[in-house]
């Protein structure tokens, strides 16, 4: 099954999914609120199964709430969170599950401004278990010291990892974006189909 039925029976392929997320981001940016359905009726409907129309890979940062940012409700997004949006085997397995078993047509990697993991990587902090994340980011960003450029480079690397992993599988679109936690603006990049 290519595409899924979501949002009132509208078939959501990758293009419609991306269009919906872009529109939702603009709604959130303008109002600071979102109209995602979290009703009792939605919970009951979703107890029969899930049909998300997009996967969002983002940071664990408490200031980044994908459902709010994209004006989505329960059942709309398959969200994978890890500090710094770092992609490893567990994250790739989750993305594969969404793409191949739930038939989600779109994956978005959402970086964000003021990311603590990216900042720690820039500062060279590599101690303890957190070092696993900061070393991975540091390998991606190299000697970049501009936080915005480093954040984008880190997100672009995650997009590339996902595309390589899904290569040869079902047609699936992967793109990246950066969320500005101060303004609520989502800046999209690398919209080429993967």
**The pLDDT value given to residue 139:** 95
Each residue's pLDDT, cut to its tens digit, for the chain (194 residues) gives: 344 445 555 677 888 999 989 999 998 888 877 778 888 898 898 899 999 999 999 999 999 999 999 999 999 999 999 999 999 999 999 999 999 999 999 999 999 999 999 999 999 988 889 999 999 999 999 999 999 999 999 999 999 999 999 875 556 899 999 999 999 999 998 554 43
**Which is the CATH superfamily of the domain at 10-189?**
Carbonic anhydrase (3.40.1050.10)
Helix intervals (H) in the chain: 14-31, 40-46, 66-69, 89-96, 116-123, 130-141, 147-166
Domain ranges of the chain: 10-189
**The pLDDT value given to residue 9:** 57
Q: What is the pTM of this model?
A: 0.89
C-alpha dist (Å) from residue 5 to 53, 150, 174? 8, 37, 20
**The pLDDT value given to residue 192:** 42
**The pLDDT value given to residue 169:** 56
- CA atoms of 173 and 8, how far apart (whole Å): 22
**The pLDDT value given to residue 126:** 85
């Amino acid at each position: 099954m290519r595409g899924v039925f979501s949002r009132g029976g509208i078939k959501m392929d990758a293009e419609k999914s991306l269009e919906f997320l872009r529109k939702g981001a603009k709604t959130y940016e303008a109002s600071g609120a979102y109209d995602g359905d979290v009703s009792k009726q939605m919970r009951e409907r979703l107890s029969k199964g899930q049909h998300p129309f997009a996967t969002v890979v983002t940071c664990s940062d408490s200031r980044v709430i994908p459902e709010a940012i994209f004006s989505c409700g329960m059942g709309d997004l398959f969200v994978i969170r890890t500090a710094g949006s770092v992609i490893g085997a567990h994250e790739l397995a989750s993305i594969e599950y969404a793409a191949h078993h739930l038939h989600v047509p779109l994956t978005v990697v959402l970086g964000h401004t003021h990311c603590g993991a990216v900042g720690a990587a820039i500062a060279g902090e590599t101690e303890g278990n957190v070092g696993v994340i900061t070393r991975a980011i540091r390998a991606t960003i190299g000697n970049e010291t501009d936080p915005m450029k480093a954040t984008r480079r880190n997100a672009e690397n995650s997009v590339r990892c996902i595309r390589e992993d899904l290569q040869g599988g079902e047609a699936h679109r992967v793109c990246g974006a950066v969320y500005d936690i101060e303004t609520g603006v989502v800046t999209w990049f690398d919209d080429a189909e993967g």
